[in-house]
Amino acid sequence: MRQLRSVLYVDDEPDIREIVALALGLDGTLAVRTCESGVSAIAAALERLPDLVLLDVMMPDLDGPATLARFRAEPTLASVPVVFVTAKTMPSELQRFGALGAAGVISKPFDPMRLLEQVRIIWERIHG
Q: Mind giving me the DSSP string for 80-122?
A: S-EEEEES---HHHHHHHHHHT-SEEEESSP-HHHHHHHHHHH
**What is the per-residue pLDDT across 29-83, written as a single tens digit (0 to 9) for each?**
999 999 999 999 999 999 999 999 999 999 999 999 999 999 999 999 999 999 9
What is residue 30's predicted lDDT score, i.e. its pLDDT?
A: 95
The stretch 10-23 carries a mean pLDDT of 97
Cα–Cα distance for residue pair 18/84, rounded to 1 Å: 17
Cis peptide before 81 (omega within 30 of 0): no
Q: Look up the pTM and report it.
A: 0.96
What confidence category does residue 88 fall into, taking pLDDT thresholds of 50, 70 and 90? confident
Name the DSSP class of 42: H
Query: CATH number of the domain at 6-127, please?
Result: 3.40.50.2300
**What is the per-residue pLDDT across 95-124, written as a single tens digit (0 to 9) for each?**
999 999 999 999 999 999 999 999 999 999
Res 128 pLDDT > 90: no
Other C-beta atoms lying within 10 Å of the C-beta of residue 113: 9
